[in-house]
Amino acid sequence: MEQAILALLTIMIGVGGCVGYFWLSNIVLDKVIFPASGPMAGRNITRANAVRPWLFLLPAVLALGLYLAYPVFATFWLSLNRNEAGDLVFVGLDNYRQMLGEDKFWESLRNNMVWLIVVPAMSTAFGLLAAQLTDRIRWGNIAKSMIFMPMAISFVGASVIWKLIYDTREAGQTQIGILNAIWLQFEGGAGSVLILRVLPVLILLAFAAAVAFVIWGQVKAMSEGGLVARGLRAVGVVIGLWLVYLGVTGSVGAATAQLPYGEPQFWLQIPFWNNIFLMAVLIWLQTGFAMVILSAALRGVPEDTIEAAIIDGANPFQIFFQIKVPQIMGTIVVVWTTITITVLKVFDIVRAMTGGQQETQVLANYMYDKLFVAVDWGVGSASAMVILLLVTPILIWNVYSARKEMR
């Protein structure tokens, strides 16, 4: 009861303080600093109106400076120091050299790069697919609610759910993990070949073909736009070619792999694939976000262009990929970059499911291990600055794209 009263008093004081600040600041501005009377009344009113927005923004600017800007500079300063017997000793760039010499840092950086490629691409693609399909069925709103529902679950809660899905018991015991319960139903017959070999090969080849289609579109548009746009397209083409290579080689591996039928698998201990299993959790969480934003964008596509394409004989695939997608490309980029920023900061899923073990380390978890497990403030702060360095260009691009979309 005391906590409820304290919370209520906090809300009242906070809201009352904001109202009092705006009321009092307006009185001081209009009555004391720039009074709307006398021979200078017109100029004073103009000046007061120019200052007033800054009065409203001042609390937010101070709060952002205190809780965002100051920690950045404090973290940078800590990254240049080392904690020795409770005292900070300036060591310059030694913490960065130590960090760059650790295999775990490069493992976390490599894993983050894989997360950056897979999660935003899959989340945006599944969200776009869900947005398109749910708008074409009668019970689309119910389907959207179900797809969006994981967004209401915390990352740790989702990790607990998926850890149960990946749970493994010893051979001969009842498997409570859904994935192992399904896996043990395969015995190597025709059904196993169809589901575990043919289907993955088709999915990977379809993925490679879709990426190749996007690459072809970017190559054709290479001469358009400025130098920055052409450079970004070139980088996208290189990444796309790498993804095509991964898709083709992955399909070959899926077709020729020797599968251990009848043996329960420790999914989160399989190198490389355990990262994919962790990524599935974040894709599950972010698909709903992408679907909601892209669904609104698709509804904003003018019907005239779609009707004109239908009259010209375009099929549904051509309408979707050549009419709708180009018109919402700005929104797709914003969704993509927003999910990318989330991926760069991913921590909860890895911490709750593997703790960064079994080659699943990521940058945020590496930073946590250094700061709070090893109590190495210098290297931990240096890794935090690396995360900030990686996030900043994407954040700037996101803001630029959002403003361009608004214009």
The answer to whether 307 touches 143, Cβ cutoff 8 Å, is no
Fold assignment, 104-170+271-406 = MetI-like fold (1.10.3720)
**Among 383, 371, 337, CA closest to 106:** 383
Segments making up each domain of the chain, as ranges: 2-61, 104-170+271-406, 185-261
pLDDT-derived band at 279 (thresholds 50, 70, 90) equals very high
pLDDT digits (tens, 9 = 90+) for 181-197: 888 888 888 888 898 88
- Helix H or strand E segment including 84: strand 81-84
Q: How far apart are CA 60 and CA 62, in angstroms?
A: 5
Tell me the mean pLDDT in the region 65-76.
87
Query: DSSP of 214-246, one letter per residue?
Result: HHHHHHHTTTSS-HHHHHHHHHHHHHHHHHHHH
Among 80-84, 280-284, 343-347, the range of highest mean pLDDT: 280-284
Full-model pTM:
0.80
pLDDT digits (tens, 9 = 90+) for 14-45: 888 888 888 888 888 888 888 877 777 788 88
Tell me the mean pLDDT in the region 193-207.
89
Provide the pLDDT for residue 405: 64
Residue 107 above 90 pLDDT? yes
pLDDT digits (tens, 9 = 90+) for 160-171: 999 999 998 887
pLDDT-derived band at 365 (thresholds 50, 70, 90) equals very high
pLDDT digits (tens, 9 = 90+) for 224-252: 766 767 777 788 888 888 888 888 998 89
